[in-house]
Every structure is written in structure tokens, then in C-alpha cells.
Chains A and B, each alone.
Chain A
């Protein structure tokens, strides 16, 4: 079974600052995908960013970027210029290729952006 670990249950960051959320995973697969999802309080879960394991280049989406270290099985999320709307639970997710799209979620990191 795949395991996904988010070692920071809670984090906080000052508005406009940068924060990094960590995620590690355990797998024997070579082809897989990684995702970060955001779930604001009482709102729906949305995809923030995704990374294909075969790509060496780190994914970037506006203020969100990842640091993907395949050998270390690490997939951290960096949020630049943090905004109040970034306050949310962040879940890291792992998906094997050709497995019927079963996601393995981490336990989540609760991020609070402080004005």
C-alpha cells in the first residue's frame, strides 16, 4: 500500500510571506502522479497543483509551486505572497498510474494566514 505523510498538522504564516508545506510518500512504483488539494473552511476541495513523476521540472501555478524530489520521495508545496484566502486544509495526494484513479491522501496540514 502507498502511504503519504504530512508531518505538519498545523502551520501559520504572515500575509505576504512565503510558506512551505511538506509531503513525503512511500511507493515502489516508478510512474505515478502527485497532487496538492486545498479545502477552505466549509468550502469544497479544489486542486491546487499536480506533478507527473516522469517530469523533472517542478510544477508551478501562479503563487504555488512544488519542490519534487523523486529520489527522496518528497513533494513539498511552496506558497508565495500568502493571502488570507489561502487559509485552508491542504492535502497531499498520490495516485499510481493505471490503477483506477485511487487517491492516497495525506493527513493534511491546516494553514492559517495571519493578517
Chain B
């Protein structure tokens, strides 16, 4: 069983909708990540939260807005998405975000389709 959970598993939304993806981890990790993954491609890092503060913000369009209410929860708010945003969105967590080996543990993902 995964210790990183993501909801919903599937999401279909129109380009004018607002929706949110949710991620939760129960391992006491202090770093959480959002990735976007296209079919048969590696995950692309979108955001990193370390100790509930955004520490890496790649050049991601503003229609994606992350939120980290506490160290166990991570949300990704979606607004005015484009069809090319359709992808698998993965959440991951790791013990920390600096020093040592902090392998990342991935959730099962949310399959997003933008129509």
C-alpha cells in the first residue's frame, strides 16, 4: 500500500473550470513535490515544498498554484488549463530537502484530462 495518497485518481475538467488536486503523506516527511508526467516520459518537476515553504518553483505557468497547508498535505490548484496540460500529476515526498540521501516516495498520481 502506498504511503503517499492522491485524490482524485482521475479528473476531467474544462478549460474554464477550477479544480484542486490533493496529496497526503503519513511518513513524517518534511519535503513534498509536484511533478507532471506525460506518457512514456520522465516526471518533470513543478514545485518543491521544504518545511512548508516553496523552495523550488520551476518555470511553471501561473494557472498552476501550489499550496502546502501543513507538512503532511500538498494541494495543486488548477485554473484555466489548456489541453496540453493533460497528463499524470504525481506527488512525492522525502524525509528532508537538504543533506543526506532523501529518496522520494511517489503517490499513484492523478490522471488529468483537460477538454
The residues of A with any CB-CB pair to B shorter than 8 Å are: 33, 35, 37, 43-47, 50, 52, 89, 91, 95, 97-103, 105-108, 110
Contacts and interface: CB of A to CB of B under 8 A. Distances in A.
Interface of B: 2, 31, 33, 40-43, 45, 48, 50, 55-56, 90, 94, 96-99, 101-109
Given A100-B97, A101-B104, A107-B42, 11 more contacts: A33-B103, A46-B106, A50-B103, A98-B99, A100-B98, A101-B94, A102-B45, A103-B43, A105-B43, A108-B40, A108-B41
Contact of B98 (A44, A46, A89, A101): A101
B71 to A, nearest CB: 15
B98 A99 contact: yes
A102 B56 contact: yes
B42 to A, nearest CB: 4
Nearest to B96: A101
6 contacts: A35-B103, A95-B101, A97-B99, A100-B55, A100-B97, A101-B31
